[in-house]
Amino acid sequence: MTIFNDIGRYLLMIKGMFSKPENHKMYWKEFIHQCTEIGFGSLGIVAIISVFIGAVSTIQTAYQLVSPLIPPSTIAQIVRDTVILEFAPTLVCIVLAGVAGSRIASELGNMRVSEQIDALEIMGVNTKTYLILPKIVAALLMIPLLVVISMALGIWGGRLAGTAAGILSASMYDKGLLELFVPYNVIFALIKSYVFSFIISSIPAFYGYYVKGGALEIGRASTKAVVVSCILILFADYILSALLL
Amino acid sequence: MIEVKNIAKSFDGRTVIEDVSAVMKAGQCNLIIGSSGSGKTVLQKCIVGLFEPDAGEVMYGGQSFTKMEREAKTEIRKEIGMLFQGSALFDSLNVEENIMFPLSMFTTDPHKKKLDRVNEVLERVNLKDVNRKFPAELSGGMKKRVALARAIVLNPKYLFCDEPNSGLDPQTSLVIDKLIKEITIEFNMTTVVNTHDMNSVMEIGDYILYMYQGRKEWEGSKKDIIFSKNERLNSFIFASEFLQDAKDMRMLEMTGKIPNIRNMDHLTGGDSPAI
């Protein structure tokens, strides 16, 4: 029963977000703040992960492609497609569920426990609109951007590792990147990243907004938010792959 | 004026407040007192609309707040200021931004005018040179004063204070109490204070509502408390021998006699009047 109760409250929270802002300027300020927190705050970790994912993909693909009949440029194709289709959107979003998701849950949880949300309600501010909507919109804007950056850095990381390890030359890698390129893969990755962005922002917001208790419960809510977000990301990944590929 | 009519509230089948009615007048400090778990915080949250009562209604200036649509409630809420137990200051904003927040959200005033108003209310709560400080850098008493400044920055008609003295030393508590009283009179606000601090009751309580196990046990003024024969109220308010002595001394001053069988020799030097 708890799960149905949670789903109901989650849907009501989403519905409650859509109301007229009390002051557009204040909402815009909050939106920009969230863009900075979610986007720039996660850029470093996304860049590091992406470069290493690309690098490891190149080395491991080369390790498995032992047949002399397969040209080395195939390595670049495989790295490109795995990074675009899976690593950049899914893995980065799972990492972001930990980085941005836990931050959203703990921020809202702390605001709830310290009565800051009540203080806003008393002032006449719709807290769901003011606190949750800018986070979701910011995530929908910034996370796909991070995914695109991750794609580029992942592919570049593969090139770097391939040439550094002497697996293939830079020109061979570049040639491989252009072979059999399917632009739809990028669109598919972006669709996935939009769905994941919504999960990453709305699920932690739900757990943080409705937290009850003290510091211990904030920690629990934060952990639960990350776990549920990761499971939903993987589930959505499967559904989207089955439907769109 | 706020009227509370037969309010009831329960959580998970457990009744927390039942059939509570009260009239809280403007220009006076209305105190809700009671021991921990007596339902005073729930009652206050029902009055401000943070909890939806199961039965009864709350009237603000003759209008039923309970039956209002969200938009109308928002309009009433703009006339409400609240000082929370833990101050509820926004951690990421400094003092100036915290106090300016309601102004920025609900007015279109230029920054200069808003800043002047912020400095005005900061001065009113006797705080100086704290504009750039963050809540984490303030003492408990300063946080309460900043929260009070934020609560009154929009000139509200109604001021709610939840345990304004919790965690404060007696001297700072007195400062906060006096501020609340002065502001109430100065701006003719309807002030509702939740407290179990007996100093506050005797300092600022114009109207006192005593809650016991979720019900209204007693109501009256601070003068009435001295003469009250309600045993639960007496054992709650004058819990210690010291407070009982203080009560008896006050009664001695007011009526010239002590209406109980306590030995007052230690207070009067053996000249205790006959009962």
CA distance A122 to B102: 11
Domain that holds residue A98: 25-244
Domain assignment present for residue A7? The answer is: no
**In this structure, are residues B34 and B43 in contact, taking their beta carbons and an 8 Å threshold?**
no
Ranges A66-75, A110-119, A204-213: which has the least confidence:
A66-75
Pairing status of strand B14-24 against strand B55-60: unpaired
Do the Cβ atoms of B106 and A119 come within 8 Å? Answer: no
b/e sequence B143-178, b meaning 16+ C-beta within 10 Å? bbbbbbbbbbbbebbbbbbbbbbeebeeebbbbbbe
Q: Which one of A23, A115, A116 has the shortest CB-CB distance to B104?
A: A23
Residue A23 contacts B, CB cutoff 8 Å: yes
Tell me how close the Cα of B205 comes to any Cα of chain A, in angstroms.
Answer: 24
Query: Does B275 have pLDDT greater than 50?
Result: no
Fill in the amino acid letter for A131.
L
- Please list the residues that pair with B20 across neighbouring strands: B7
Domain assignment present for residue A19? The answer is: no
Confidence of residue A80 (pLDDT cuts 50, 70, 90): very high
- Chain B partners within 8 Å of A110 (Cβ): 91
Tell me how close the Cα of B203 comes to any Cα of chain A, in angstroms.
Answer: 26
CA distance B12 to B52: 14
Residue A115 contacts B, CB cutoff 8 Å: yes
Angle at A181 between CA A175 and CA A185, to 5 degrees: 140
Q: Quick one: pLDDT at residue B271?
A: 53
CA distance B14 to A185: 56
Do the Cβ atoms of A114 and B91 come within 8 Å? Answer: yes
Chain B interface residues facing chain A, Cβ-Cβ under 8 Å? 48-50, 73-75, 77-78, 80-82, 84-86, 88-91, 101-102, 104-106, 160
Domain assignment present for residue A1? The answer is: no
Average pLDDT estimate for A25-50: 94
Give every strand in the sheet of B14-24, ordered side by side: B14-24, B2-11, B55-60, B63-64
Domain assignment present for residue A11? The answer is: no
Domain assignment present for residue A104? The answer is: yes
- Homologous superfamily of B2-221: P-loop containing nucleotide triphosphate hydrolases (3.40.50.300)
Q: Which one of B77, B91, B105 has the shortest CB-CB distance to A122?
A: B77
- From the list A94, A93, A102, A99, the residue with the least C-alpha distance to A224 is A102
Do the Cβ atoms of B50 and A123 come within 8 Å? Answer: no
Tell how many helices (H) and how many strands (E) occur in chain B.
11, 10
Confidence of residue A136 (pLDDT cuts 50, 70, 90): very high
pTM: 0.86
Question: What angle separates helix A133-164 from helix A73-82, to the nearest 10 degrees?
Answer: 170
- From the list A133, A129, A104, A127, the residue with the least C-alpha distance to A224 is A104
Give every strand in the sheet of B207-212, ordered side by side: B80-83, B158-162, B190-195, B28-33, B207-212, B215-220
Size of interface A-B (CB pairs under 8 A): 54
Q: What tokens appear for A212 in the block?
A: 């009850």
Domain assignment present for residue A141? The answer is: yes
| B18 sits in which H/E element | strand B14-24
Query: Does B272 have pLDDT greater than 80?
Result: no
CA distance A155 to B21: 70
Average pLDDT, chain B: 86
Whole-Å CA distances, B123 to A106, B42, B178 = 34, 32, 15
| B30 sits in which H/E element | strand B28-33
**In this structure, are residues A76 and A175 in contact, taking their beta carbons and an 8 Å threshold?**
yes
CA distance A137 to A242: 27
Question: What angle separates helix A2-17 from helix A183-209, to the nearest 10 degrees?
Answer: 100
Domain assignment present for residue A117? The answer is: yes
Q: Dump pLDDT digits (tens) for B32-82.
A: 998 888 888 899 999 998 899 999 999 998 889 988 888 888 888 889 999
More confident residue, B248 or B179: B179
Do the Cβ atoms of A114 and B88 come within 8 Å? Answer: yes
- Chain A partners within 8 Å of B50 (Cβ): 118, 121-122
Residue A195: half-sphere exposure toward Cβ, Cα within 13 Å:
19
Angle at A117 between CA A115 and CA A121, to 5 degrees: 115
- Chain A partners within 8 Å of B104 (Cβ): 23, 25-26
Do the Cβ atoms of A122 and B90 come within 8 Å? Answer: no
Top residue of B87, B98, B105, B192 to mutate, by most chain A CBs within 10 Å, is B105
**Number of domains forming the structure of chain A:** 1
CA distance B111 to B105: 12
Residue A116 contacts B, CB cutoff 8 Å: yes
Do the Cβ atoms of B88 and A118 come within 8 Å? Answer: yes
Do the Cβ atoms of B86 and A119 come within 8 Å? Answer: no
- Chain B partners within 8 Å of A116 (Cβ): 88-91
Query: Does B274 have pLDDT greater than 50?
Result: no
Do the Cβ atoms of B77 and A23 come within 8 Å? Answer: no
Query: Does A219 have pLDDT greater than 90?
Result: yes
CA distance A186 to A86: 11
**In this structure, are residues B28 and B222 in contact, taking their beta carbons and an 8 Å threshold?**
no
Do the Cβ atoms of B102 and A123 come within 8 Å? Answer: yes
* 3-state SS assignment for residue B93: coil
- Chain B partners within 8 Å of A126 (Cβ): 74
Q: Quick one: pLDDT at residue B160?
A: 93
Angle at A13 between CA A240 and CA A100, to 5 degrees: 60
Query: Does B243 have pLDDT greater than 80?
Result: no
Residue of B nearest to A118 (CA): B50
Do the Cβ atoms of A23 and B80 come within 8 Å? Answer: no
- Chain B partners within 8 Å of A121 (Cβ): 49-50, 77
Q: Quick one: pLDDT at residue B261?
A: 52
Residue A110 contacts B, CB cutoff 8 Å: yes
Phi, psi of B20 (to 5 degrees): -100, 125
- DSSP, res B128: -
Kindly list the domain boundaries of chain B, sorted by start residue.
2-221
Q: What tokens appear for A197 in the block?
A: 């962005």
- DSSP, res A39: I
Domain assignment present for residue A174? The answer is: yes
Residue of B nearest to A122 (CA): B77
Q: Dump pLDDT digits (tens) for A151-201.
A: 999 999 999 999 998 888 999 999 999 988 899 999 999 999 999 999 999
